[in-house]
Structures are given as C-alpha cells and as structure tokens.
C-alpha cells in the first residue's frame, strides 16, 4: 500500500474520531462518522483480494445506510424540537431511529451480519481498527444521548447480542471471525448498561479495547489466522503464546484477570436497578462465549499439534514481537487489584 495513502487514511481516522467525540452538533458528528468510513475503506481493500473487495463493499453499504438513518434521526429531532444539539434528543421517534443507526454502525444484533464478514476480509491490523477505534465514535454518541434512549429496545438487543455472539462463535475456526463474535458479545454487555450507568459503559469499552488490541497484536506477531496455525505458532514465541492464553482468559471475563472487572460491575449495577433477571440471562449466555475462549487458550499453549510429522513445526520467528504488546498484555491481565481506585475515579 502506498505510504502516502496509509498516512492520509490514518490521519483522517484520527481526525474523524476527534470531530465526532468532541462535537455537540449533529451535523459535525455525522461529518466525523463519514470521514471515518471513507478513511477505513482503503485500509480494508488494500490486500487486492476478492474477499477484501467484498468486505469493503459490504462495509460501505452498511455504514452508508446507518449514516443516512442517523442524519434522518437528527433532522426529525430538529424538526420536532428546533434543536441540533446532540444532548437534546427528546422525541421518541428520532431516539428509536438513532438507536437503530448506532446498532448498525456497531454491529449489534440484529444488524450484526456484516461485521464477521468484513473482519474476515481484512488484515489483522485493519481488523483491530474495526473492532476498537471504529466503535469509539458511535459509543460516544450513545453515551451523550443515553438519557433519552429506549430501555426495552436496548435490553433486547443486548441479550440477543450476548447470546448470538457466543453461539455463533462456537463452530468457528477462523480467528478473525471468532474475535468478531467476541466483539458482538461484548457490545451486548455495553448496551445493557448504557442507560443506567454510561460511565461504566466507557470503562467496559476501554478495557475491552485494551484486551482485544493485545490479542490482535499477538496474533499479528505469530501470523496466526486459523486455529490450526495457532497450534503450531508456539515454537515461534513460547512466551508470547503463554501470555496470549492469559489475555484470552481475561477476555472471557475470568477472575482474577482484568476482564472480570467490567462484567462484575455490570451485573452489580443491573441488580441495583432491579434488573436481576436481565443480569442472570446475560451472565448465563456469556458461558457460550467462555467455551470458544477456552478453546483458543488451549490451542495457544498446546505443545504439539495432533500430528506425528515434524513438518508442522515452525521454528523461524517471521516477525519480531511489537514492544507495546507485553505492556498491553500486562494491563490486560493485572488491573483487577486496582479496581477500588478505578471505581473511586469514576
């Protein structure tokens, strides 16, 4: 890929995200989202493969539809209230349209079908951007309008996302698709709590971003794209694979790792709000996701694949480990003891 194109796309991504998260006017927020969409398209299609082109077209069509809905929602709200301010979303129809538009942009169920396919057609670094940075502006818009969103609609989407994200990931062997369904399930946890405690949603997103970035960077270092490749990557970097196991368990939400903190706090907050049934359903459905996280963790530390031939062993480190990966891995697994400090700060 042309270095100038990559630089322009990267700067546009940063600019688009900054515009959206710092704007109070609907038109500015929409402009930032559009800039983000146009900036990520060259990064998705850079591999010149039919699957990448297909992923690019799917991504563009879904994001264009979602942006149209968002613009229609803001115009309807301005027509009924006379306000273009993001926080002045008071009419129920624009609120419903906005929820649907943001759900499409994020990949919440039932608007999730594009996300695994787009991730599968992208490189690991682009998939990392799509799973983390590209979700920040829509979540910020949900954060700003959380007081006027529709609770039953978001709760149904949240339960469906956690359940379907876990269920669809069970039979996957492609790592990017597994991480896509993992992302959908985590978005379900965030959608469940956004109305009752928006700050907790942001904390959950930050910790999810931290953990997912570590997994993608580790997979990028070992060049693992499938479960079978993951089984033979231990010879490239044994220490990295052992760390990857802990990070995957953290992503699953097992104590005493970092990933347990947001899930524990969300269940606690839902119980306080009188939604113990919702908390129980979401916690039970997350056990589906636990299975494929454990399978990934097992494959990342397996010492020998079930094959008697030695040709499957990979002894050459094709790419040095990124310096930031160990730092992110430490943060992804060791933040739980700092939870009293985090809770005091938020």
For 246-287, what is each residue's pLDDT tens digit?
999 999 988 888 989 999 999 999 999 999 999 999 999 999
Residue 311 burial class via C-beta count within 10 angstroms: exposed 0-12, middle 13-18, buried 19 and up: exposed
CA distance 302 to 294: 12
* Same domain, yes or no: 117 and 46: yes
The verdict on 114 and 154 lying in the same domain is no
Same domain, 314 and 170: yes
* Contact indicator for 217, 183 with CB cutoff of 8 Å: no
Nearest Cα residue to 267 out of 285, 291, 290 = 285
Assess whether pLDDT exceeds 80 at residue 320: no
Question: Is residue 316 located within the same domain as residue 253?
Answer: yes
Please state the domain count of the chain. 2
pLDDT band at 208 (very low <50, low <70, confident <90, very high): very high
119 & 76 share domain: yes
Examine the fold and report which residue of 106, 123, 140 is the final residue of a domain before the chain moves on: 123
- On whether residue 277 sits in a domain, the answer given is yes
Residue 306 pLDDT: 57
Residue 150: the pLDDT is: 87
Which pLDDT value is given to residue 308? 57
Q: How many CB atoms lie within 10 A of CB 327?
A: 11
Question: Quick one: 188 and 73 in the same domain?
Answer: no
Band of the pLDDT at 222, cuts 50, 70, 90?
confident
pTM, two decimals, is 0.90
241 touches 300 (CB < 8 A): yes
pLDDT at residue 131 in the model: 94
Domain of 2? 1-123
What band does 309 get if pLDDT is binned at 50, 70 and 90?
A: low
Residue 342 lies in a domain: yes
Reported residue count of the chain is 346
Band (pLDDT 50/70/90 cuts) for residue 304 is: low
Q: Are 263 and 249 in contact (CB under 8 A)?
A: no
In terms of domains, do 112 and 155 share one? no
User: pLDDT, tens digit, for every residue of 144-181?
Assistant: 998 888 889 999 999 999 999 999 988 888 999 999 99
Beta bridge partners of 174: 226
Question: What letter does residue 322 receive in the DSSP assignment?
Answer: P
What pLDDT is recorded for position 264? 92
Does residue 195 fall inside a structural domain? Answer: yes
316 has a pLDDT exceeding 60: no
pLDDT at 310: 53
Work out the angle between the directed axes of helices 26-44 and 3-22 (0-180°, nearest 10). Answer: 150
Mean pLDDT across the chain = 88
pLDDT bracket for residue 237 (50, 70, 90): confident
Residue-level pLDDT at 124: 92
| Main-chain phi, psi angles of 210, to 5 degrees | -60, -50
In a domain, 133, yes or no: no
The whole-number pLDDT of residue 155 equals: 93
What is the arithmetic mean of pLDDT over 107-124?
A: 92
Kindly state whether residues 340 and 296 are assigned to the same domain.
yes
Which residue stretches of 169-275 are H helix? Answer: 175-193, 198-222, 227-231, 238-252, 260-272
With a cut of 70, say whether residue 319 has pLDDT above it. no
* Per-residue tokens: 264: 């524990």
Query: 176 in a domain, yes or no?
Result: yes
Residue 138 forms part of a structural domain: no
Whether the Cβ atoms of residue 174 and residue 120 lie closer than 8 Å to each other: yes
Query: How far is Cα 161 from Cα 281, in angstroms, rounded to an integer?
Result: 12
Predicted pLDDT at 83: 85
Q: Are residues 33 and 182 in the same domain?
A: no
* For residue 60, pLDDT beyond 70: yes
131 inside domain: no
Maximum mean pLDDT: which of 31-45, 80-94, 230-244: 31-45
Same domain, 192 and 114: no
Q: Give yes or no: residues 91 and 207 share one domain.
A: no
Residue 251: phi and psi, rounded to 5, are: -65, -30
Residue 314 lies in a domain: yes
For residue 182, pLDDT over 90 is answered with yes
- Residue 56's pLDDT band, with cuts at 50, 70 and 90, is very high
pLDDT tens, position by position, 240-249: 888 889 999 9
Residues 50 and 182 both lie in one domain:
no
pLDDT of amino acid 120: 93
Most confident of 7-21, 82-96, 221-235: 7-21
């Amino acid at each position: 890929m042309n270095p100038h194109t990559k630089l322009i796309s990267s700067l546009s991504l940063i600019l688009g995200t900054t515009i959206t998260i710092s704007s109070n006017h609907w038109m500015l927020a929409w402009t930032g989202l559009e800039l983000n969409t146009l900036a990520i398209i060259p990064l998705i299609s850079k591999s010149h493969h039919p699957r990448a082109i297909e992923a690019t077209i799917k991504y563009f069509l879904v994001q264009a539809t979602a942006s149209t809905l968002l613009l229609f929602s803001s115009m309807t709200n301005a027509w009924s209230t006379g306000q273009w301010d993001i926080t002045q979303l008071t009419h129920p129809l624009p609120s419903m349209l906005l929820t649907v538009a943001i759900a499409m942009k994020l990949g919440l169920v039932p608007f999730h079908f594009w996300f695994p396919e787009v991730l599968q057609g992208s490189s690991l670094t682009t998939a990392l951007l799509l799973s983390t940075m590209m979700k920040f502006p829509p979540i910020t818009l949900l954060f700003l309008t959380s007081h006027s969103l529709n609770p039953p609609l978001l709760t149904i989407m949240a339960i469906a996302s956690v359940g379907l994200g876990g269920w669809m990931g069970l039979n996957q062997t492609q790592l990017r698709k597994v991480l896509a369904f993992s992302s959908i399930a985590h978005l379900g946890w965030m959608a469940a709590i956004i109305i009752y405690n928006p700050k907790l949603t942001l904390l959950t997103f930050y910790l999810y971003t931290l953990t997912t970035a570590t997994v993608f960077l580790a997979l990028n270092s070992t060049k693992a794209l499938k479960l079978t490749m993951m089984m033979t990557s231990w010879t490239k970097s044994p220490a990295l694979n052992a760390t990857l196991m802990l990070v995957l368990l953290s992503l699953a939400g097992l104590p005493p790792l970092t990933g347990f903190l947001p899930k524990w706090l969300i269940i606690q907050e839902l119980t306080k709000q009188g939604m113990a049934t919702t908390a129980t359903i979401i916690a039970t459905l997350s056990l589906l996701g636990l299975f494929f996280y454990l399978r990934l963790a097992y494959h990342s530390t397996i010492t020998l694949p079930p094959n008697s031939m030695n040709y499957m062993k990979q002894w050459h480190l094709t790419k040095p480990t990124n310096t930031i990966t160990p730092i992110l891995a430490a943060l992804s697994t060791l933040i739980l003891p700092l939870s009293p400090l985090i809770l005091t700060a938020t």
